[in-house]
Amino acid sequence: RALASNPDNVSVTDEGDGDHIFLRLSVDDEDKGKVIGRNGRVAQSMRSLLRVAAVKTDTRVSLEID
């Protein structure tokens, strides 16, 4: 939410099938550039943090940005 100009329009949904969790981050079209970052750096950083956190529970995590 801190990256978005319209934090009220940010939502995260999750789906899981045991050892794999799929996260979908939805943001306004005008905020997608901020959330993805230049060359995808912000998105890649978020994915890396999720992977590190998931290792503790032996889970795989995928992040999709809409």
What is the tens place of the pLDDT at every residue in 21-62?
A: 999 999 999 999 999 999 999 999 999 999 999 998 899 999
**For residue 66, is pLDDT > 70?**
yes
Q: Return the CATH number of 7-65, one of 3.30.70.120, 3.20.20.70, 3.50.50.60, 3.30.300.20.
A: 3.30.300.20
Buried b (16+ CB within 10 A) or exposed e, 24-51: ebebeeebeeebbeeeeebbeebbeebe
Give the global pTM: 0.82
